[in-house]
């Protein structure tokens, strides 16, 4: 808590410089982490691992089974009556 009191006692210009410096450092760290995650996901996508991760073949089989179970009701033709 003492460090916050010391920062509060500094002139406004120096506090602004500290604030912007801290924001820049945090944003650079977040950008680096994001790019690392993005490149990992992109490599996984290129190798076809995304399909396995999302279990798309399983979902496709399940949908095909469910679609075959769906019965479409017959609507009587009203023109002939």
What global pTM score does this model have?
A: 0.52
pLDDT digit string, tens, across residues 10-54: 999 999 999 999 999 999 999 999 999 999 888 877 666 666 666
Helical residues (DSSP H) of the chain, grouped into ranges? 2-9, 12-46, 49-54, 56-69
Structure tokens of 37? 């995650």
- Per-residue DSSP letter, 74: P
CA 57 to chain centre: 22
The segment with the largest mean pLDDT, out of 38-42, 54-58, 71-75, is: 38-42
Task: For residues 2 and 8, give the distance between their C-alpha atoms in angstroms, rounded to a whole number.
Answer: 10
pLDDT digit string, tens, across residues 2-18: 998 999 999 999 999 99
Q: Where are the domains of the chain?
A: 2-69
């Amino acid at each position: 808590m003492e460090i916050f009191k010391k920062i509060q006692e500094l002139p406004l210009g120096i506090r602004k410089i500290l604030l912007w410096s801290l924001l820049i450092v945090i944003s650079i760290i977040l950008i680096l982490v994001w790019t690392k995650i993005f490149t990992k996901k992109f490599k996984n996508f290129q190798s076809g691992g995304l399909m396995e991760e999302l279990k798309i073949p399983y979902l496709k089989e399940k949908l095909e089974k469910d679609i075959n179970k769906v019965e479409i009701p017959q609507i009587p033709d009203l023109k002939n009556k």
